[in-house]
Amino acid sequence: MVSRCLQDVDDLEPEEIQALFAQAKAFKEILNRPIRKVPTLRGKGVLLFFAEPSTRTRASFETAAKILSADVTSITSSTSSLLKGESLADTFLTLSRLPFDLVVVRHPFEGMPGLVFKWFGKTVINGGDGCHAHPTQALLDAFTAQEKLGSLNGITVTYVGDLSHSRVFRSGTRLFQKLGARVAACAPPYFVPLGFQEAFPDVGLFRDVHEALRKSDTLIVLRVQKEREAPFYSEREYERLYGIDGEKLTRAKKGMVVMHPGPVVRGYELKREVLENEKTLILDQVENGVAVRMALLYMFLTGENRLEQ
């Protein structure tokens, strides 16, 4: 089987994305069985290497691999021999001689999954690299929007918030556009990256959140990433202008859905009444994330695109 590196959504062919979604839909049924276990990946070794905090991505990949009966090993940078001075290259050279077939890597440095692929020599999936890409988040977001809205063709997907630091926005934009959606954004100037128009010529900017709400079919709200280099701004003003509350939600286009990759800063970018609103799909995204990652592990570890029930 050929080793692959999923750095971003462009590493998947359009027909692979559709096959992946069909497979995820089939796998989703397994999550509702009394015994959530199938032997599909028995004997395969999956390594999770996380050098940044994560709840969803890590737990989701681990759960996905275990449901498919793969053997899972988890390493974090803070408990590895990196702390004793070993380089990341030597760490992955070492790990390459253990019986792993695939690694999921999260790292703060952009492009790190590509380097890991060289050192490790086996399949690599990017679980989020700095501000660059988060392909599996994009896949589960598109899968969830398609599941809810029926089709992505011609819909408007709008990202609201900290675009500068968002790997979710970068990967999601590429994927939603590939699947026929229009992508727009809405953010204060201090969260719009330099060279935005050149980098994203097909992404329109809404003047304000009210316009975004009126014209969008899917609103993807982004967390302000205070752990990364932050601009100087008024949090109170941001919350007033860009935080989504029940009053703003009343102006939304009919049928619009709200998503958020998580983690959510409750009460800041989304108010309680929005989190509890039926338009909000955040927990569906989490659930779908397991099915989408099961499908991706299946595709990458077996080389199969045909449906497995």
Residue with Cβ nearer ligand CP (114 or 262): 262
Provide, rounded to whole angstroms, the least separation between the CB of residue 229 and ligand CP: 18
Which of 180, 263, 267, 303 forms a contact with ligand CP (CB under 6 A)? 263
Minimum distance, C-beta of residue 262 to ligand CP, in the bound complex (Å): 5
Q: Give the Cα separation of 121 and 115 in Å (integer).
A: 10
Q: Which two tokens stand for residue 209?
A: 């959140």
**Shortest Cβ 66–ligand CP spacing (Å):** 17
- Nearer Cβ to ligand CP, position 19 or 51? 51
Q: Indicate whether 261 belongs to the interface with ligand CP (CB under 6 A).
A: yes
Alpha carbons 291 and 24: distance in angstroms, whole number: 5
**DSSP-assigned letter for residue 97:** T
Instruction: Report d(CA 102, CA 96) in Å as an integer.
Output: 10
Among 113, 128, 172, 243, binds ligand CP (CB under 6 A): 128
Contact window for ligand CP (CB under 6 A) among 67-75, 85-93, 238-246, 258-266: 258-266
**Residue with smaller CB distance to ligand CP, 57 or 164:** 57
Q: Is the CB of 43 or the CB of 263 nearer to ligand CP? A: 263
Closest residue by Cα to residue 258 from 103, 173, 149: 149
Q: Which of residues 131-160 bind ligand CP (CB under 6 A)?
A: 137
Q: Which of residues 31-70 bind ligand CP (CB under 6 A)?
A: 54-57
Is residue 263 reached through a cis peptide bond, with omega within 30 degrees of 0 on the bond before it? yes
Question: Considering beta carbons, is residue 127 or 182 the nearer one to ligand CP?
Answer: 127
Residue count at the site for ligand CP (CB under 6 A)? 9
Order across the sheet with 102-107: list the strands.
5-6, 123-129, 102-107, 45-50, 71-76
Specify the stretch interacting with ligand CP by CB under 6 A; choose among 76-84, 115-123, 153-161, 259-267: 259-267
- The whole-angstrom separation of Cα 30 and Cα 191 is 40
Rounded to a whole number, what is the distance in angstroms from the first to the last CA of the chain?
21
Parallel/antiparallel/unpaired status of strands 45-50 and 71-76: parallel
Dihedral (Cα; 288, 291, 155, 220), 10-degree rounding: 40
Catalog residues that contact ligand CP under the rule CB under 6 A: 54-57, 128, 137, 261-263
